Amino acid sequence: MTDTTIAIIGGTGLTSLKGLEITRREVMHTPYGEPSGPITHGVLAGREVMFLARHGYGHTIPPHRINYRANLWALKNAGIHRVVAVAAVGGITAEMAPPRLVFPDQIIDYTWSRGHTLFEADLSHVTHVDFTHPYCEELRHALIQEARQIGLDFVDRGTYGATQGPRLETAAEVNRLERDGCDIVGMTGMPEAALARELELCYATCAVVANWAAGRGEGQGEISMEEVDRNVAEGMVNVRTLLENIIPTL
């Protein structure tokens, strides 16, 4: 086992990591089935890291079919202690404009029927984990500090509403999310964050606002996939810059 402690989980728009010098790929088998793909080991900005594409390296696994338990278990078993999770989201509140970066500090789970816990079988006792603050504040603050230092456009907090997918939300559903206190909406935030907490991983999300959520933004028309792709591409350039700058400091 290497001394690598940092993993990057790539979402939509980040199925590979430019600048990563790949040293090997590791196929992992877990008690929860197969992960989204092999774990990619490599060197980024002079530091050993691991990378896993959440939707598979061909971006073929929809959010509700991702084996989150296998993904997180595999990273933990490979020796990871910290995880930077990259995700594309929709912006709900006014400051969550595309293609801004967001470092959420809270999350609300609207998903269902996903394998959402490691503590459900062969237990010696019922296990609960504290989830008051769902993200690792140490890692989240490090990301924020680095983003500020290199001059990126970002929001340093917000509540992530995790929906089931793979369809996008209705305008009425987005209205409900805002009433509930959500600032951004995505489909992969849960149970990934909770599983990381169960595994005692330091986990934080770097979200790219890919589009205004349904009924938001100018015109309030249908969401354009061309616009989403354009914003994701622009946002991921900033994510890569952030990762290249922060990885050596962690």
> Which positions make up the binding site for phosphate?
12, 54-55, 188
State whether residue 59 is helix, strand or coil: coil
Half-sphere exposure of 191 (CA within 13 A, CB side): 21
Could you identify the residue written with the tokens 């489909």? 187
* Feature table: binding site for substrate: 187, 211-213
Cβ atoms of residues 152 and 96 within 8 Å: no
Please give the structure tokens belonging to residue 158.
């917000």
Please give the structure tokens belonging to residue 187.
């489909």
Cβ atoms of residues 31 and 73 within 8 Å: yes
- Interacting residues of 189 by C-beta distance below 8 A, sequence separation 6+: 87, 104, 107, 109, 160, 162, 205
Task: Tell me the residue type at 29.
Answer: H
* Feature table: binding site: 12, 54-55, 187-188, 211-213
Give how far Cα 194 sits from Cα of 51, 117, 167, 179, Å.
Answer: 19, 8, 23, 23
Is the peptide bond preceding residue 191 cis, with omega within 30 degrees of 0? yes
- Interacting residues of 117 by C-beta distance below 8 A, sequence separation 6+: 191, 194, 195, 198
Burial class from Cβ neighbours inside 10 Å (0-12, 13-18, 19+) for residue 165 reads: middle
